A and B are shown apart, each in its own frame.
Chain A
């Protein structure tokens, strides 16, 4: 091996392989749920999964599946199949791919295991409400809607009461579907583990505040899968412990992920799954490291509202006040905090035509960031899974120009 390759090997994050293995096992378990007499629940990425874990129900995340479809570049085909079924191509591409995948059993893993129930929490968008209705009709299974009213300016007492009541309704729903009674002791335990997992995830993300950064947001997009799918299990806790150690080790040894990290960038909105590699090397070529993003931090951003010793009561607030379910001005405040914490030189926003609640308001956030944090902002037009909305040459030109501006400002 020549020096360059050795250098490259050193830069790789070794936990990645383990993570891949864990995800494979998870999907195999989910696929063989029926043989093992286990029930499968489909749940939205921001939904309260802990009661499912406490009930020994296997949670499956269509959005994570959507991300896999996007990464394996199978999005376009599945989106088009949904369009043939009458779904407009202006609709969210996660929803489109999942709707057609359920019928054609396509995608990288041949479709998800069929659900025994659907749990839809609308703290991320209104799309999931429609999408889960569609799947409830298709699979003819019970649907539970966990309704978390948007907190434009506040988490009001009315919202608090309504959401808290639904936690009890959710448990009653699970008891009815499983015909088992809910084990509150187990729940308390799962709650603690979930809290611990989120805390560790936060710590992992925080390590990138180090200069040079031990990982990029592109890695975070990858490592995110566990806090989404295995939140509330020891698997996630153990893994993130190891990952955190690895990051600390890298920091100690001065191993950076971008060889000559000069510029530090912040990413907004979902990843562009089918272009991660290209984007990552594009930025790296400019000696720029995407150190953080507003997306992966959503799975720990409401940690401050959660009390690990009073989990069920506190998640009403925790699950309601997540990043996408607050006002645009509060979102901008959080972005500015991140810019300070991570020492950011430039902000890259993905204007994602699939995701309206994430993308509308971005132009206002952009202006707030430009004036308050005084850093350049780049906006890229794309879609997280449907490549038809992405123009590589155009994005390339814009990234080059953006990096030029940052360079001049330094």
Chain B
């Protein structure tokens, strides 16, 4: 499929995407977390781009962040300090985990992109006052963006933006559904490229490409089957892992990842007041473990997801040194165990993936389920 090539190229080289966007008079604003309100950034005339670590060796970041910081945060700081992100015009930091919180400080002090904003979201997402605060924060961010672009973000611009992102996210959702019905229509590494690319590429291009991919794969008839697996964790940005899973005899049928369903689930109602609708979406989305909606929300969600997708097992993929996910793992595991859903934990470090060991562990796991 030729569309796939475009995605693979884009994720190889986000900088060239940013340069093309500049030609289209859209400056690029980067962010590291799925709580960044990309609809607002886009409506202000910027190009929102999720940042991923290039996984380059840590050198410069060493003198800012100790070795017990997760490789995503260290990796992105390294990229910035070594000039790999010079194509950025700005960055925005939604408040989530402690590591990103401090990265934001270091970034603000050290880096010199034109635009910088903290979007200090509430940590609890289950009270009216927290929702009011979330709205206030989004309004404040709107003002920051307006100052940067020199224009008001009109209601209709925001509505259009929301519709565009809805279209992108609905297509990703469809793609996931099709894959769940018929795993194998796309390789894991291809899906990874599509989802990751959807956070990086020109949104105008995405609204053309994604529906095309969806319609192409809809026609594919049943393909190879394997053990049905759901992934759960923060981000999973190692295409190798998908290959390893497939070689071990598994197929991914759903995920609870920030580079996956946690990011694109939850359509924003288009007939409501846009700011209100936006607030509600970010308030009600499936929570990140750095936030609180109830003490059992994520446990219930993973069980529901595993059942919906008729999964044979769940793979927890957690970045080493990640506090929020590390704390949630034991109870989520317990929820799955209670339902008799097999699961396994793999702890990864972006910089040193031990494929041999991982294959063996995953093969053993596949045999068990």
**Chain A interface residues (CB < 8 Å from chain B):** 85-88, 90-92, 95, 122, 125-127, 129-131, 133-134, 136-137, 143, 145, 147, 149-150, 152-153, 156, 158-159, 161-162, 165-166, 169, 327-329, 351, 353, 356-357, 359-364, 381
Q: Confirm or deny: B187 has a beta carbon within 8 angstroms of a beta carbon on chain A.
A: no
Residue numbers in A under 8 Å from B140 (CB-CB): 156, 158
Residue numbers in B under 8 Å from A131 (CB-CB): 327
Residue numbers in B under 8 Å from A127 (CB-CB): 98, 323, 327
Interface positions, chain B 107-130, Cβ under 8 Å from A, are 108-110, 118, 120-124, 127, 129-130
Residue numbers in B under 8 Å from A143 (CB-CB): 295
Q: Confirm or deny: B320 has a beta carbon within 8 angstroms of a beta carbon on chain A.
A: yes
Residue numbers in A under 8 Å from B132 (CB-CB): 161-162, 165
CB proximity of A215 to chain B, nearest CB, Å: 31
| Cα of A361 to Cα of B133 in the assembled complex, Å | 27
| Cα of A149 to Cα of B137 in the assembled complex, Å | 11
Find out whether the CB atom of B129 lies under 8 angstroms from the CB atom of A165.
yes
Given A145-B124, A152-B120; A360-B331 close (CB under 8 Å): no
Given A92-B323, A136-B295; A353-B120 close (CB under 8 Å): no
| Chain B residue total in the interface (Cβ 8 A) | 53
Q: Confirm or deny: B239 has a beta carbon within 8 angstroms of a beta carbon on chain A.
A: no
Find out whether the CB atom of A152 lies under 8 angstroms from the CB atom of B118.
yes
Q: Which residue of B lies closest to A85 (CB)?
A: B330
Q: Confirm or deny: B157 has a beta carbon within 8 angstroms of a beta carbon on chain A.
A: no
Our pick among B102, B120, B295, B330 for the contact of A87 (Cβ within 8 Å) is B330
| Cα of A153 to Cα of B109 in the assembled complex, Å | 11
| Cα of A136 to Cα of B109 in the assembled complex, Å | 38
Our pick among B120, B292, B323 for the contact of A149 (Cβ within 8 Å) is B120
Find out whether the CB atom of A150 lies under 8 angstroms from the CB atom of B327.
no
Find out whether the CB atom of B326 lies under 8 angstroms from the CB atom of A90.
yes
Find out whether the CB atom of A147 lies under 8 angstroms from the CB atom of B122.
yes
| Cα of A278 to Cα of B318 in the assembled complex, Å | 37
CB proximity of B196 to chain A, nearest CB, Å: 26
Find out whether the CB atom of B64 lies under 8 angstroms from the CB atom of A364.
yes
Given A137-B295, A145-B292; A86-B329 close (CB under 8 Å): yes
Residue numbers in B under 8 Å from A130 (CB-CB): 289, 323-324, 327-328
Residue numbers in A under 8 Å from B163 (CB-CB): none
Residue numbers in A under 8 Å from B124 (CB-CB): 145, 147
Our pick among B105, B121, B136, B328 for the contact of A328 (Cβ within 8 Å) is B105
Q: Confirm or deny: B106 has a beta carbon within 8 angstroms of a beta carbon on chain A.
A: yes
Q: Confirm or deny: B63 has a beta carbon within 8 angstroms of a beta carbon on chain A.
A: yes
Pairs A-B, 9 closest by C-beta atoms: A130-B327, A86-B330, A360-B102, A162-B133, A328-B105, A158-B136, A165-B129, A357-B98, A88-B326
Interface core residue of A136, A150, A359 (most chain B CB under 10 Å): A150
Find out whether the CB atom of B95 lies under 8 angstroms from the CB atom of A360.
no
Residue numbers in B under 8 Å from A356 (CB-CB): 68-69, 98-99, 102, 323
Contact with A along B337-365 (1 / 0, CB 8 A): 00000000101000000000000000000
Find out whether the CB atom of A133 lies under 8 angstroms from the CB atom of B292.
yes
Other than the given A328-B109, A353-B68, 5 more pairs (CB < 8 A) read A90-B323, A156-B140, A162-B130, A162-B136, A328-B106
| Cα of A122 to Cα of B98 in the assembled complex, Å | 11
Residue numbers in B under 8 Å from A129 (CB-CB): 123, 290, 292
CB proximity of A104 to chain B, nearest CB, Å: 15
Find out whether the CB atom of B63 lies under 8 angstroms from the CB atom of A150.
no
Q: Confirm or deny: B321 has a beta carbon within 8 angstroms of a beta carbon on chain A.
A: yes
Given A357-B98, A359-B66; A88-B347 close (CB under 8 Å): yes
Q: Which residue of B lies closest to A168 (CB)?
A: B129
Find out whether the CB atom of B105 lies under 8 angstroms from the CB atom of A361.
yes
Contact with A along B226-254 (1 / 0, CB 8 A): 00000000000000000000000000000
| Cα of A166 to Cα of B122 in the assembled complex, Å | 12
Q: Which residue of A lies closest to B96 (CB)?
A: A126
| Cα of A339 to Cα of B124 in the assembled complex, Å | 37
Our pick among A91, A145, A166, A327 for the contact of B105 (Cβ within 8 Å) is A327
CB proximity of B163 to chain A, nearest CB, Å: 28
